Amino acid sequence: MEKYIYESPDGGKTITRRNFGEQNKETIVTPPLNVDSDLSDDELTLRFTSIKKKLKAAQLRSHWDTWQSEHKIAEAIQLIEDLEQEITLTTR
């Protein structure tokens, strides 16, 4: 399993990732949130993927912190995945 470092130069609108120890970056663009429109399945998937990537990056950083922080982030990831599944089922 590859380990990535995620960075965002503009507060989360544009996300880049790179393999640990490398300089070449892959750019991942997150679409702006528009709560007034219905989201397609692809848009929902992209947004939840972005959220999970951010949380997993935070989880990796938390390895340098306490076990409690890591545990809380793992719980948050599980909650996001559960929410994604519920929303996906109700929008179909």
User: pLDDT tens digit string along 30-46?
Assistant: 656 555 456 677 888 88
Residue 28 is predicted with a pLDDT of: 81
Residue 26 is predicted with a pLDDT of: 86
Q: What is the mean pLDDT of residues 13-29?
A: 84
Identify any residues that bridge with 14 across adjacent strands, giving them in sequence order.
Answer: 29
Q: Which one, of 22, 23, 7, 1, lies nearest residue 58 by Cα? A: 7
List the domain range (segments joined by +) for residue 11. Answer: 4-90
Q: Structurally, how many domains does the chain consist of?
A: 1
Name the pTM for this structure. 0.36
Residues of the chain with pLDDT > 70: what percent? 75
How far, in Å, CA of 64 to CA of 61, rounded? 6
